[in-house]
């Protein structure tokens, strides 16, 4: 399969590397100058769980990419998705599928502004990866990714993508209900990414905190209220239980500092909060309801961004 990775940070580069090892023709692109420069001069270095590997893959700026692709895999941060779509949309031809594996809510609507549903595959992943520096990334676990086609007629094409990832050693399942999967993953991010970023802890440490299940349940219940407004219904107890398992030692990425911690604490960059807890607080406010935990968390994250002098654009 000919694959373009649009956004080659920790997740994009490591997925690209594994798919390349699986025999696919992978092109990486990114707009971060240092990343492109270091990858092309010194080479891309990927730690694939416990093995340090030198990847022969080169990295391009989006405007340099040419050719036709079977799959465009979007792996930017939420704030960069629309700009990246604008940069690569001309590469999406009749048979190209676009797959969005970003964390966060509202990305399908962004993709639908540019692509017909027959091109769009949506997904979520519980893989964990870390940016070690430009051109250097760690994939700490090959955990599961769920995907599904948006246009019902495209199931066979989506299942081909599922097969390609699985055959490359990147576990992928066909989601029975992608809106449900997306909200479930958003609950996980809403209860751990923001909390770990605020408290400067990893997921193992968060799991050891007193009354964490009660806190998680409160956050999940606010996500459930917002999801219901979009016609997605789920059981709060079940999603709380599902989310809590990622704070237990049985989760392969347990020592992982979530991507929002990496942005805010390690790299002093703007966070995806407005696409997670901020999205929920906003949706409920618009409906005349209140999400006290999500609203407070969002204010604190933006407060910390401001205190650190990080420029961000508040998403209305």
Ligand X SMILES: NC(=O)C1=CN([C@@H]2O[C@H](COP(=O)(O)OP(=O)(O)OC[C@H]3O[C@@H](n4cnc5c(N)ncnc54)[C@H](OP(=O)(O)O)[C@@H]3O)[C@@H](O)[C@H]2O)C=CC1
Ligand Y SMILES: CC(C)(CO)C(=O)C(=O)O
Contact at 8 Å (CB) between 251 and 280?
A: no
CA distance 31 to 35: 8
Taking the least distance from each CB to ligand Y, the nearer of 151 and 241 is 241
| Residue 163 among the catalytic residues | no
188 binds, among ligand Y, ligand X, none (CB under 5 to 8 A by kind): ligand Y
Asked if 131 interacts with ligand X (CB under 6 A), we say: yes
Query: Of residues 77, 185, 217, 283, which has the active-site annotation?
Result: 185
Min dist CB 203 to ligand Y, Å, is 7
Ranges within 165-204 binding ligand Y (CB under 6 A): 188-189, 192-193
Asked if 76 interacts with ligand X (CB under 6 A), we say: yes
Taking the least distance from each CB to ligand Y, the nearer of 134 and 258 is 258
Return the residue of 79, 108, 126, 232 that touches ligand Y, per CB under 6 A: 126
* Contact flags string 23-62 toward ligand Y, x per CB under 6 A: ----------------------------------------
Q: Which residues bind ligand Y (CB under 6 A)?
A: 103, 126-128, 188-189, 192-193, 253, 256, 258-259
């Amino acid at each position: 399969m000919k694959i373009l990775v649009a956004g080659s940070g920790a997740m994009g580069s490591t997925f690209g590397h594994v798919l390349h090892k699986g025999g696919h023709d992978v092109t990486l692109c990114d707009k971060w100058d240092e990343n492109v420069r270091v990858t092309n001069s010194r080479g891309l270095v990927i730690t694939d769980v416990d093995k340090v590997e030198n990847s022969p893959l080169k990295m391009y700026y989006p405007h340099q990419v040419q050719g036709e692709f079977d799959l465009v895999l979007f792996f930017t941060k939420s704030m960069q998705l629309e700009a990246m779509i604008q940069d690569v949309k001309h590469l999406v031809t009749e048979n190209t599928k676009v797959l969005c594996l970003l964390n966060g809510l509202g990305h399908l609507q962004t993709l639908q502004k540019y692509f017909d549903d027959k091109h769009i595959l949506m997904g979520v992943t519980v893989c964990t990866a870390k940016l070690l520096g430009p051109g250097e990334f760690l994939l700490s676990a090959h955990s599961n990714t769920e995907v599904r086609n948006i246009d019902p007629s495209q199931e066979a094409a989506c299942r081909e993508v599922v097969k390609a990832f699985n055959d490359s050693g990147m576990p992928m399942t066909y989601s029975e209900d992608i809106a449900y999967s997306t909200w479930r993953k958003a609950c996980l991010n809403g209860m751990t990414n923001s909390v770990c970023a605020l408290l400067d802890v990893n997921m193992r440490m968060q799991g050891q905190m007193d009354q964490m299940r009660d806190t998680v349940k409160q956050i999940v219940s606010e996500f459930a209220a917002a999801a219901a407004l979009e016609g997605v219904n789920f059981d709060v107890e079940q999603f709380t239980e599902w989310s809590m398992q990622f704070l237990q030692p049985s989760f392969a990425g347990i020592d992982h500092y979530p991507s929002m911690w990496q942005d805010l604490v390690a790299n002093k960059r703007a966070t995806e909060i407005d696409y997670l807890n901020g999205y929920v607080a906003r949706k409920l406010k618009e409906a005349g309801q209140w999400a006290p935990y999500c609203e407070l968390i969002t204010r604190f994250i933006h407060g910390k961004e401001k205190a650190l002098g990080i420029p961000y654009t508040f998403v209305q």
